[in-house]
């Protein structure tokens, strides 16, 4: 447990940032899941539309440090390959 005032404040800030980051990560995962769901259903047009929403989301998350840059690139590459393979 944090004892000094500075450590207490830092703990509060960490809690707040963790909740915010988890919310952003969840939003990103939902956008990726929507693309994968459309791919599994065989709906190419809706998969492409969902992909156009997911790509900027992945880029924003990698820019904010929520996920690594290469992780975002890997997600985009694999999803795009799956859409092209439909």
Count CB-CB contacts under 10 A for residue 54: 23
How do the domains of the chain map onto residue ranges? 5-84
Residue 34 token pair: 């929507």
Q: Name the band, by pLDDT with cuts 50, 70 and 90, for residue 85.
A: very high
What per-residue confidence (pLDDT) applies to 1?
A: 76
- In this structure, whether the domain defined by 5-84 belongs to CATH 3.10.310.30 is answered with no
Residue corresponding to tokens 């944090």: 2
Classify the phi-psi angles of 65: left when phi > 0, otherwise alpha if psi is within -120 to 50, otherwise beta: left
Q: What's the rounded Cα separation, in Å, for the pair 31 and 51?
A: 8
In tens, the pLDDT along 33-82 reads: 999 999 999 999 999 999 999 999 999 999 999 999 999 999 999 999 99
CB-based contact 39:86 (threshold 8 Å): yes
Give the list of residues 6+ apart from residue 54 with CB closer than 8 angstroms, or none. Answer: 28, 31, 32, 34, 35, 75, 76, 79
């Amino acid at each position: 447990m944090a004892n000094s005032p500075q450590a207490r404040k830092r703990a509060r800030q960490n809690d707040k940032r963790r909740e915010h980051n988890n919310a952003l990560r969840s939003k990103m995962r939902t956008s990726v899941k929507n693309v994968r769901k459309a791919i599994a259903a065989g709906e190419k047009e809706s998969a492409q539309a969902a992909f156009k929403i997911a790509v900027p989301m992945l880029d924003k998350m990698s820019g904010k440090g929520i996920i690594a840059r290469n992780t975002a690139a890997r997600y985009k590459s694999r999803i795009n390959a799956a859409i092209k393979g439909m």
